[in-house]
Amino acid sequence: MSFESLGLRAELLRAVSENGYSVPTPIQQQAIPLILDGQDLMGGAQTGTGKTAGFTLPLLQRLMASNKQGNGRRAIRALVLTPTRELAAQVGESVETYGKYLPLRSTVIFGGVNINPQKQKLRNGIDILVATPGRLLDHVGQKTIDLSQVDILVLDEADRMLDMGFIHDIRKVLALLPKQKQTLLFSATFSEDIKRLASGLLKSPALIEVARRNTAAESVTQLVHPVDKGRKRELLSLLIGSNNWQQVLVFTRTKHGANRLSEQLIGDGIHSAAIHGNKSQGARTKALADFKAGRVRVLVATDIAARGLDIDQLPHVVNFELPNVPEDYVHRIGRTGRAGNEGEAMSLVCVDELKLLRDIERLLKREIPKEIVEGFTPDPTIKAEPIKNGRGRQQQGRKKPSHGGNNRRSSSPSGNSRSYGQSNNSNRSGNRARRSA
């Protein structure tokens, strides 16, 4: 199947071709015709499958087919809500990229930056608005935005928005929109909360799931390196330096941990930067741009970057610390192995994190291979300790099951067995790590 066969107009096909795409992905094949027909849609796909283009292309075409104007000037006719600034920026770029030959205007609004330039763009009139919920409501409160003409609403990464506590903001936004509109809801997972949201929002939606829920892309090679907590940074520096990795995305659980690890890597001679919610938007944008351009070798991130970062051919993702919520592991490693490219995801796991690892493997319905790097065999006398978050609150106890940072219930039994599982070729990774660059 080609993009031409999906019924897209010539201007869109030209933009798609110029970006090197000729064959639509499975979710694009299924979603584009349904959206063009005006149906409401619930779309689920593992990360990196082309979801953004799957709704952007038909959205642009439908707006071109409708020339409705509000009060003689441009009105916002399409609204895309995203959970994070980075994802909003990425969607905004896609709208501009695919709509470059169309006479439609778009803009992106999110917090952390001056609101006045956003006001000016809104005053000039736009057709498509990409926004995070909080900043959108800021504009509503200042009466700088009118949502009464919206024809198409897109909730992108809806599960993440609920996880981040945006449900009340979303409901406030929904109350400002026309009842008659096309609604598209995209989510990596279809939790009960998502189903409840969809039931009150979508009208007889078509359902698309192009992959089993909570599955990692098969193009991503997953590996666990058991290691003592106090030696993780040493092992990470060894892997990066000895294997001459030039672009590595590393995840930590806390903002303070991201800052500390980035500084330690710089001390090891590895150029790195940190990105998390406490960074200014300017600092976050610069760090990501430097990483994409190769000026920064390692980007250390919290889960704010687990979704929405689209980095072409990113080869390596490392979980310096496992996430408290198993689903976030899937989103983290989904930053590599995108668009059919191969990628490698490694997790440095200490004894404290064995329960988190078991929860992840239960979610994936598979065991992740373990390899002990030569010289980094875990000390069997070290006892597991509860995992704490950045404020010192216990997140993972040895006796009581934790619900994790997002109040998700863990189904695995509590306890901290010393077993890391069977080791596969335990020294192979160590030999690989010690090869000269």
* Residue 435, CA distances (Å) to 232, 243, 244, 298, 394 in order: 19, 6, 9, 20, 39
> What's 366's DSSP letter?
S
CATH H-level superfamily of 220-434: P-loop containing nucleotide triphosphate hydrolases (3.40.50.300)
368 pLDDT band (50/70/90 cuts)? very high
> Residue ranges per domain, the chain?
4-209, 220-434
On the question of pLDDT at 355 being above 70, the answer is yes
Query: What's phi and psi for 282, nearest 5 deg?
Result: -60, -40
Q: What ranges make up the beta strands (E) of 201-296?
A: 206-209, 220-226, 248-251, 272-275
Tell me what pLDDT residue 415 has. Answer: 37
The Cα 343–Cα 217 span in angstroms is: 9
Residue closest to 307 by CA, chosen among 100, 107, 85: 85
Tell me what pLDDT residue 288 has. Answer: 86
pTM as predicted? 0.63
CATH topology of domain 4-209: Rossmann fold (3.40.50)
Q: Which residue has the higher pLDDT, 147 or 68?
A: 147
The Cα 52–Cα 232 span in angstroms is: 35
Q: Do the domains spanning 4-209 and 220-434 agree at the CATH topology level?
A: yes
Q: Which of 14-23, 157-166, 220-229, 251-260 has the lowest mean pLDDT?
A: 157-166
Average pLDDT, rounded, for the chain: 83
Tell me what pLDDT residue 160 has. Answer: 82
On the question of pLDDT at 306 being above 70, the answer is no
Tell me what pLDDT residue 410 has. Answer: 35
Span 404-408, average pLDDT: 36
On the question of pLDDT at 372 being above 90, the answer is yes
Span 117-143, average pLDDT: 95
411 pLDDT band (50/70/90 cuts)? very low
Exposure string of 33-50, with b = 16+ CB inside 10 Å and e = fewer, is ebbbeebbbbbbbbbbbb
Helical pair 51-65 and 26-36, crossing angle rounded to 10 deg? 20
> What's 115's DSSP letter?
S
Contacts of 141 (CB under 8 A, 6+ apart): none
